[in-house]
Structures are given as structure tokens and as C-alpha cells.
Chain A
Amino acid sequence: MEIIKIERKVLAKNDAIASEIRGKFEENGVFAINMVSSPGSGKTSLVEKVIENFSGRVNISVIEGDVQTDLDAQRVSAYNVPVVQIITNGGCHLEANLVNDSLKNLDLVQTDLLIIENVGNLVCPAGYDLGEDMKVVVISVTEGDDKPLKYPKMFINSKVLVINKIDLLPYVNCNIEQLKQNALKINPALQVFEVSCTSGEGVGKFCDFLESSI
């Protein structure tokens, strides 16, 4: 048998496009976050709260990723910020080429903060670089405190953990200290924020962190 050495990453093409995107962000002074979570953790609600908090101070653009429908883009556009909806038609995550294409419809010069809301999925989006500055993983207390142990890759690849729906803590079987402990065991460098998008509690602290990063 003849052996041909290859040693090439399977996602090399995605990574090359992600580097191209990162260059565009740097050139235009855009700080980009890739928001990831399971479906229903409250990513879109957090996007809405961040937009409200930064209103008039920080120029935000949003890329919404969903398997189907433009419902999230409709929600976000009510806040008068530029938003592009990517519909993956069954795809379980966003890939760099989809994000790169959607950038044509956004004005990066006028963008300080770009929020990319990924498809709700705690598995696949962890493996795809979209050119972002950081991944922000959102988890809600209704999902239980064991999720960081079950989906470690997402927590290892994220810089920030936002724990949402803390207003529901009295009603659900979730020990938030255990949740944080599990997350920090997987990734001790995670910056953790506790928020409720319903009451608004904790959102300001998360926004202060974002503002200091921009």
C-alpha cells in the first residue's frame, strides 16, 4: 500500500473563513460574541436586554441563527438595531461561511458590538469558530445543574457563562452553587454572571463586562 500523509484538520476550511472574518472585525473595530446554549435558555431575551441596556451608548448589530423561521429577527428588529436572520434549514449550528455571507448585509463600520446568536444546541456549535472574540454560553436554571458535566466542550470553549432565569430558582430542582462548581471544574477561567431576563436582575453587570471588553 502507498501511504499519503495529509495531517489536515477536517474543519480547516471553516477555520480559514473564520480567520478572514476575524480580520474584518479587527479592521472595523467590532467586538463579536458568539452566543450559544440549548434551545429555550433565553439567548434572544438576553440579546433584547443587552440592546435595551446599551441603547444610545453602544452600536449593536445582531446575527440570528435558527433552524427555521425568522421569529427571532422579528423580535430583535423591534429594537431598531440591524439584524440578519440565518435560517440553516435543519443545520444544527452556524458555520463561518454562513456568517461571512451575512456580513454583507451589515455595516461593520457602524457596529461596536456584534452579537451572533447561534442555533440552540449545546453540542455542535462548540466546534465551529465563527471569527468571534469569545463564546458566551447561556444556561438556564430550569435545565439543571449537571449540564456543564454533560456538555463539557461548550464550557471549555466559552469564556463567559451566563446563568439565566435565576428568578425561577425557588421553583426548580437546581442548585446554583453546584451548577457554578460544575462549570468551573470544567473550565476554571469561566467568567460567570447570574441574570434574570424577566426581572432584569444581573443584566447590568453582564453589560458592564461587555462594555469593558469592547
Chain B
Amino acid sequence: MHELSLAQNIIETVKQNVTADELIKVREVIVEVGAFSGVVADSLKFSFEAITSGTELNDAIMTIVDIPFTLKCGECGSESSTEIPMLLCSICGSSNTQILSGDELRVKELKLVEE
């Protein structure tokens, strides 16, 4: 699996958004993971912990925000959420649908301790 390389991308993003001095103040990295992103949240957290251990980000934890898979139907107008992501409306069966959420894999925000 590629959660390790994703965790590396996330750390790069953190480093791009804080100064070198601020890095040790990061306490929380909040990441949105969609149900349809193909990412195993536990593996991502494990990878993040493994590669930040003993570094400036040692005290930072990763918090995962789960985003469900939701679909909007262009025929009946309903918004539905299914356990297995599918583009067929589960209410009326129409194929005229649009994904509203679920494919996210996004660094949302950082929390830094103020000293």
C-alpha cells in the first residue's frame, strides 16, 4: 500500500505551510479522508507516526476526518449515501448522478501550540 508515501506528502505540505521554527509547535494535523479515496485511515496514521517519531513533528498527531460517499441524483434530486460507492442513484435508479463527496484526501488544517 502507498499510505507511507501519502504520509510523506502530508509532511511536505506541513513543512510548506509553517516556518522551520514553528514546526516543533505543530500538535495536530487534520486530514480529510473520503470513504471512496482508497486510503486506509489507520495505515495513514500509523505511517505518519512512524516517520515523524524523533523529528520536529514528534509531538504532532494526525486526526482523520471521515467523509462519507454521497451522490446527488439529476433525475429525482435526492442525495443518497451508499456503503459501496456507486454512481447509480439508490433511490430511483437513474445514472444521471454526480458525486458530492467521498473522494477527498486533503490536508485540512494544522493546530499549533502557542507559547
Which A residues are closer than 8 A to B by beta carbons? 1-13, 91-93, 123-124, 126-127, 149, 152-153, 156, 184-189
Contact = CB atoms under 8 A, between A and B. Distances in A.
A149 B13 CA distance: 33
Given A1-B114, A91-B2, A92-B2, A9 B38 contact: no
B22 to A, nearest CB: 9
Please give me the 7 A-B residue pairs with the lowest Cβ-Cβ distance, nearest first. Answer: A188-B95, A2-B112, A4-B110, A1-B111, A186-B86, A10-B105, A6-B107
B6 interface: yes
Looking at A2, A12, A189, the one whose CB has the most chain B CB atoms below 10 A away is A2
B10 A10 contact: yes
B38 A126 contact: yes
Given A156-B36, A156-B85, A187-B87, A9 B112 contact: no
B110 A6 contact: yes
Given A10-B9, A10-B106, A127 B18 contact: no
A87 B39 CA distance: 23
B13 A123 contact: no
Nearest to A92: B2
Contacts of B1: 92, 123-124
B12 to A, nearest CB: 8
Interface of B: 1-2, 5-6, 9-10, 12-13, 17-18, 25, 27-28, 31, 36-39, 84-88, 95, 105-114
Given A124-B1, A127-B37, A152-B36, A2 B114 contact: yes
Contact of A186 (B37, B87, B110, B114): B87
B106 A9 contact: yes
Contacts of B6: 10-11
Contacts of B109: 3-7
Interface of A is mostly: mixed
Contact of A156 (B2, B9, B87, B111): B87
A156 B109 CA distance: 29
A58 B16 CA distance: 45
Contacts of B17: 4, 6
Most B C-beta atoms less than 10 A away, residue of A1, A12, A126:
A1
B113 to A, nearest CB: 6
A124 B13 CA distance: 21
